[in-house]
Amino acid sequence: MREYLRRAALWADAFGAENLWPFFDIGRQIDPTVRAAPDITTDLDNFIDNTIGRRTLEETCRGAVHWPTFCHGTSLTVPDLPTPYEPLLLMFERGGGFYVEEMIDLSGAAVPLGKLSDHLSHAPVVSLDLATLDALDTA
């Protein structure tokens, strides 16, 4: 989660979207004309309507699904920043989830939400390679 917050802070800072940080559809903020195919969008809307129910998850799900289309479809020049949604997707794939209040509750561990500037760093918080994540999960 801390790595996602850092990456989202970099993207928000680069495109003047600080007021939307941390959970937002980054591609839509940069180039709203580039979206996933209609059949994917329909499936996504149905999944969100029937499953999610929290704005933070809705926005990150939308962002993550549309991100590959944005990366390959925008004609705008974007900075060389790390892929924003990878840390969240890895967390979800490994069985993690979260709730947001003053802290981000990761089902027992908590990450301070803080401000965007608290997370604005070009140095990764943690390596996302599977061996590192497995070691952290075991610990």
Q: Which two tokens stand for residue 93?
A: 């794939």
- pLDDT grade, residue 22 (50/70/90)? very high
Q: State the pTM of this model.
A: 0.76
**C-alpha distance from residue 18 to each of 10, 91, 106 (Å):** 9, 23, 23
For 27-65, write each residue's pLDDT tens digit: 999 999 999 999 999 999 999 888 887 787 888 899 999
Q: Which two tokens stand for residue 129?
A: 């390679």
